[in-house]
Amino acid sequence: MKTKTLCSVALLTLLGVSLATPAVANAEAKSLPTNGKIKFTEDNGPKDIVDPEDPKEPVIDPKEPIIVNPDRGSFSIDAVTELNFGEDKVKAFASNPEYFAAAIPVTTSKGDVTRGNYVQFTDVRGVANHKYQVSAQLSKQFEANANAGTFLKSATIDYSNAAITSADPATQWPATTVAGFQLAADAAGTGAGSSVVVLDNKDASKGIGTYTIEFGQYGDGTADTTAESVKLTVPNTNVLLADEYTAEITWTIAEVL
């Protein structure tokens, strides 16, 4: 009995030790959050004027016929080329004469190249909506420089062979293509005409970057269309003066809500 009792006592004692010692518990988790920060600001600095057929190449010292916007920034028409339709003799025309704007000389680090007339624009705004339209307007009809009030009445300018290029990733390019279009004066043929939408970027997440639209491409010169893609047509009903005539074409980029 003592032995049993002792054994029983010993068992109870061991059991008591076992019951009094719980399993090891995890300590309560403690946390301390911190922050990670990054800030983006709009790039309002002037963008380089680029070669429309090699947009990674800036144009060296761009000047006429490239007209550079001094106020270019995060949302702007950066540059556009001046149209030179050459010269002709005053004569009686059997049909409406047509003239083509000359190709553009461009200088880059690779040398002198020939390019079509073009417009360059930028949208790098820090906004969610990048839908926009690029438009053109014959804002002043061709008027004789030395004979104010004498116009090339109802003259029109046709653009063709348009190509969009950019050094930015192709996945970000505007969600649109550019078709041929015509700029004309008002119904009287002498006043400012209607604005024509040239590019309509309808995707709010596209069109971010700097782009050019070139009218006519030189490429390697084997299929050169640079000198036949911007056409001036003058109705032969005009009485022509021995004078230089000047028009104004206004390009605009505007947000679309």
- Residues 62-108: tens digit of each pLDDT: 999 999 999 999 999 999 999 999 999 999 999 999 999 999 999 99
* Structure confidence at residue 57 (pLDDT): 97
* Structure confidence at residue 26 (pLDDT): 79
CA–CA dist 48, 84 (Å, integer): 24
Q: Which amino acid is at 130?
A: H
DSSP state for residue 22 in the 8-state scheme: P
Burial class (CB in 10 A: 0-12, 13-18, 19+), 198: buried
* Structure confidence at residue 14 (pLDDT): 41
Kindly give the pairing relationship between strand 117-123 and strand 75-81: antiparallel
| Integer CA distances (angstroms), 43 to 166, 233, 245, in order | 17, 41, 39
Six-digit token string for 157:
């300018």
Number of H helices, E strands in the chain: 1, 16
CA–CA dist 133, 144 (Å, integer): 32
CA–CA dist 55, 215 (Å, integer): 15
Domain boundaries, the chain: 47-255
Q: Which residue do the tokens 């054994």 mark?
A: 7
CA–CA dist 240, 242 (Å, integer): 7
CB 49 within 8 A of CB 167: no
Six-digit token string for 164:
């969009």
Average pLDDT score over residue span 168-188? 95
* Structure confidence at residue 9 (pLDDT): 43
pLDDT band at 1 (very low <50, low <70, confident <90, very high): very low
% residues pLDDT > 70 (the chain): 90
- Taking 80 as the threshold, does the pLDDT of residue 53 lie above it? yes
DSSP state for residue 18 in the 8-state scheme: H
Q: Please tell me the pTM assigned to this model.
A: 0.87
DSSP state for residue 30 in the 8-state scheme: -
Element at 197 (helix H, strand E): strand 196-201
* Structure confidence at residue 179 (pLDDT): 95
Q: How far is CA 235 from the centre of its chain?
A: 34
- pLDDT, tens only, 118-146: 999 999 999 999 999 999 999 999 999 99
Average pLDDT score over residue span 198-221? 96
